[in-house]
Structure formats: C-alpha cells, structure tokens
C-alpha cells in the first residue's frame, strides 16, 4: 500500500483554488455619497433656477416679395400673338409685354370679331331707322300743331276786328239812345222809342262781350298749342339725343372690339420680368397670369399666418425659426428671421393660398429672412415666391421654478 504525502481533501482544495490575491471587501465611506447627493441637488437647483420653459406655436406661411408682384392677366380667353420680353428683362412702366387677340374669325358666317361687328352694325342700322322715324314723326306732329297755331292766330285777329266793329256799333247805339232820350224828354218822341234804343244798346254791348270772351278762349287755346309745340320739340330732341347716345355707345363698342382683336399688354410698374407663361399661338385663360413683373429693389420675405390665440404674444423684432418645405430642415437646417410687421386686422381665409389649408381668420406676420445665419441649403438656398414653409413662434418664456410652483402660486393668489 502506497502512502500518500498529502490528504486527498488538501489536493482537491488546491486544485479548485481561485487565481489571484484575496482582498477583503469594505463599503465606501459615507462622505462620497454625501458629496454626490449634494452635487446632484445643486445641479437640479441650478437648472430649476436658471432653466426656462418656452411655449411655442407652429404656423404656416409662404415666401413672398416685400413689395409684392404685378401679375398681368388677359381680360378673356385669348391667343398670344407676340411676346416682346424675356424672363429676367428689366422693363419700365408702360413697356409692351405681350400682344394677344381676344377674338378670332373672319368668315362669312360671322364668327369671332366679324360676328360682333355684324351684330353691332345691325343694332346701329335699327337705331338709325328709329332716329329717322323719330325725326319724321316729330316734324309731322310739330307741323300739325303749327297749322293749328296759325289758325288760332287768324281766328283771334278776326275776332279782334269784330270787336272793333262791335265797339263802333255800341257807340252808335249809345248815340242813338241818347238822342231818343232827349226827344222823349222834349215830348218830340215817344217813351217806347227811348226804351227800344236802350235795348239796342244792351244787345250791342252783349255782342261785344261775347266777342271778347271768344278772343280770350282762342288766346288760351293758342298758348296751349304753342306749349304743345315746345314740348313736342323737346320730346323729339330728347328721343333723338338718346338714340344718338346709344349709337355713340355702339361706335365705342365697335372700336373696342377692333382694339381687342389686337390687344397689347403693358407693364403696370417698373421692375424685372418674372414668370413668362405661354408661347406665340398658345391660348391664354383669364384666371391664369401670363407674365409677372417684380418691382425694383424687392426682397423675399416670409408671410406667416398665425391664429388669433397666438397673435397677441408676437411682437416686432422677435426671432423666428423657419423651416422651408422645399428644403427639409433635417437635411438643410432651418432658417432664421425677424418679425418686421404684424397686421392690425385678421385676414380672411378665402384670400389665402388654398394650399396652406387655413380655414379660420388669421393674422399675417411679415418676417425678414436673415441670410447666412443657417448652414448652406436653408435660407441661403435660392428661394422663390410661393414656396410654403412652417415656423415656430415662441409665445412665452417662463422659468422652470415658475412652472413647477405655478399651482402653488395660483392657490396663494386665490
């Protein structure tokens, strides 16, 4: 039997022993925990004291020129006959831009301008016929009244002569009556003869009064006839004047139609030619602008539309963060701007670009775009009017301690 030098238990214990030096584990000192807790509390206190909380509102808008742009529209469906400018040209007010034709057609059936001119000619011929008939009718009625006036004048003259004769007859009758009265008083004549002489005097006087009455009646008729002649002349003149005015309107309409056949659109303001739509021979619609003119010294800016609940917190000079839809801010970064103007009255949603999907009254905020404040690709990218964008407006900044203690402060105020 072989004697073992070490016991089996000792050999197994040595085989399973861990490699390294055994060190006794002692917990860290309490001071370290104290310093750590104090540091965390100090950091939290610093954050609560100096930190701020900002309430924001996200609004939408478009890029536009600060001085606006002039859009030139055709007044109706038209055909472009000539283009006198190119995009980028500088023009003065009144410079010809396009020549268009609003109407076409020269066939025998009267299409286009020919049809309008034929209709105007028919209307003018009818008015000319009415004018001629009015002149003839007025002259005929005036002539009839003039003849009636002449007859009345002749009758009045005759009655006046009769009045002279009647007056002479009255004088003779009165003379005879006076002689008969003297004879009767001298017993040289009878009383009956004197009475008969008085009756003759009365009869002659009645005849003279009747003639005077007829003269007055005829004079009234003469004045009425002369008034009718004057009224008829005025009525005829008024009718002919109205017809002449309508013919003048037709003449102006004819001249307008002839001008519309070749209408030259000019620049309303001085500036640079922007978008030029269409080409020679293409059709133009009245709801689509053919060319735009950008005023000189115009700059691009952002027009933001904010709801009424946020408009009261916006102020001039406020910085705004702009995110252009054409240049995603995740890739190109965001632009910066400064509020330069806030509208005093709300803008109707119907007057805003439908693409912004605004369905309530909003206030317009004009923002000056700061170039060079963002990395290349955002505001430094070539912007164009009409581009849509979004912006973050800071409505209110409050300290964190005010936010945290707000319920308590409200309770104390209550």
Rounded to an integer, the average pLDDT of 14-26 is 58
- Is residue 357 a part of any domain in this protein? yes
> Pick the residue with more confidence: 195 or 227?
227
118 and 245 share one domain: yes
Rounded to an integer, the average pLDDT of 249-257 is 83
Percent of the chain with pLDDT over 70: 78
At which of 202, 227, 256 does a domain end?
256
Percent of the chain with pLDDT over 90: 7
- Is residue 1 a part of any domain in this protein? no
385 and 400 share one domain: yes
23 and 36 share one domain: yes
Pairing of strands 335-342, 388-399: unpaired
Look-up: residue for tokens 């309409």? 253
135 and 245 share one domain: yes
Most trustworthy range by pLDDT among 11-15, 30-34, 56-60, 406-410: 56-60
User: What is the CATH number for 220?
Assistant: 1.10.287
What pLDDT, on the 0 to 100 scale, is given for residue 291? 92
- Is residue 108 a part of any domain in this protein? no
333 and 398 share one domain: yes
Q: Is residue 66's pLDDT more than 50?
A: yes
Token duo for residue 292: 């735009």
- Is residue 172 a part of any domain in this protein? yes
Q: Is residue 174's pLDDT more than 70?
A: yes
pLDDT tens readout for residues 222-238: 888 888 888 888 888 88
Count of H helices and E strands in the chain?
8, 14
249 and 117 share one domain: yes
Number of compact structural domains in the chain: 4
Instruction: Decide: pTM greater than 0.75.
Output: no
Rounded to an integer, the average pLDDT of 276-296 is 87
140 and 250 share one domain: yes
What pLDDT, on the 0 to 100 scale, is given for residue 352? 78
245 and 129 share one domain: yes
Residues in the chain: 414
**Domain range for 269:** 71-101+261-296
220 and 303 share one domain: no
Distances (CA, A) of 254 to 74, 104, 107, 118, 259: 19, 15, 18, 10, 9
What pLDDT, on the 0 to 100 scale, is given for residue 104? 55
At which of 256, 284, 311 does a domain end?
256
Mean pLDDT of the chain, nearest integer: 79
What pLDDT, on the 0 to 100 scale, is given for residue 374? 45
pLDDT tens readout for residues 321-367: 888 888 888 888 888 889 999 888 888 877 777 777 788 888 999 99
350 and 292 share one domain: no
Q: Is residue 252's pLDDT more than 80?
A: yes
Q: Is residue 168's pLDDT more than 70?
A: yes
- Is residue 15 a part of any domain in this protein? yes
Where are the extended beta strands (E) located within 317-401? 319-324, 335-342, 362-370, 388-399
89 and 144 share one domain: no
Closest C-alpha among 281, 262, 347 to residue 311:
347
Q: Give me the helices (H) in 261-382, please.
A: 308-311, 329-332
Rounded to an integer, the average pLDDT of 157-181 is 83
pLDDT-wise least confident of 120-129, 239-248, 250-259, 289-298: 250-259
- Is residue 312 a part of any domain in this protein? yes
At which of 232, 256, 280 does a domain end?
256
- Is residue 402 a part of any domain in this protein? yes
Nearest-Å Rg of the Cα atoms of the chain is 55
- Is residue 81 a part of any domain in this protein? yes
Q: Is residue 23's pLDDT more than 80?
A: no
Q: Is residue 78's pLDDT more than 60?
A: yes
245 vs 124: CA distance, rounded Å? 11
User: What is the CATH number for 59?
Assistant: 2.40.30.170
275 and 394 share one domain: no
């Amino acid at each position: 039997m072989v004697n073992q030098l070490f016991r089996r238990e000792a050999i197994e214990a040595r085989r399973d022993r861990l490699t390294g030096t055994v060190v006794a584990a002692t917990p860290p000192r309490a001071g370290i925990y104290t310093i750590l807790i104090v540091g965390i509390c100090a950091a939290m206190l610093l954050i609560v004291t100096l930190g701020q909380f900002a309430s924001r509102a996200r609004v939408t808008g478009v890029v536009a020129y600060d001085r606006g742009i002039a859009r030139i529209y055709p007044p109706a469906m038209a055909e472009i006959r000539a283009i006198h400018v190119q995009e980028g040209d500088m023009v003065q007010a009144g410079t010809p831009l396009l020549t268009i034709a609003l109407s076409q057609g020269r066939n025998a059936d009267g299409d286009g301008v020919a049809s309008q001119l034929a209709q105007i000619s028919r209307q003018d011929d009818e008015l000319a016929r009415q004018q001629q008939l009015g002149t003839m009718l007025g002259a005929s009625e005036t002539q009839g009244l003039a003849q009636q006036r002449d007859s009345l004048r002749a009758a009045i003259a005759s009655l006046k002569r009769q009045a002279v004769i009647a007056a002479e007859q009255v004088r003779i009758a009165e003379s005879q009556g006076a002689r008969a009265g003297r004879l009767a008083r001298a017993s040289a004549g009878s009383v009956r003869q004197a009475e008969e002489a008085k009756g003759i005097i009365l009869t002659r006087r009645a005849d003279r009064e009747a003639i005077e009455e007829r003269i007055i009646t005829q004079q009234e008729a003469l004045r009425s006839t002369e008034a009718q002649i004057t009224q008829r002349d005025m009525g005829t003149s008024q009718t002919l004047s109205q017809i002449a005015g309508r013919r003048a309107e037709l003449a102006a309409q004819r001249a307008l139609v002839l001008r519309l056949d070749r209408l030259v659109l000019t620049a309303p303001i001085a500036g640079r030619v922007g978008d030029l739509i269409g080409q020679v021979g293409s059709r133009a619609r009245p709801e689509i602008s053919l060319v735009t003119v950008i005023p000189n010294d115009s700059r691009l800016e952002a027009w933001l539309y904010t709801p009424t609940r946020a408009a009261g917190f916006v102020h001039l000079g406020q910085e705004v963060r702009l995110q252009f839809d054409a240049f995603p801010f995740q890739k190109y970064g965001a632009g910066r701007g400064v509020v330069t103007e806030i509208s005093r009255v709300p803008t109707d949603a119907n007057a805003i670009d439908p693409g912004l999907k605004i369905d309530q009254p909003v206030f317009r905020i004009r923002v000056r775009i700061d170039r060079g404040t963002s990395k290349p690709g955002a505001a430094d990218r070539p912007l164009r009017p009409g581009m849509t964008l979004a912006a973050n407006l800071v409505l209110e900044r409050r300290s964190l301690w005010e936010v945290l203690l707000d319920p308590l402060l409200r309770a104390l105020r209550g």
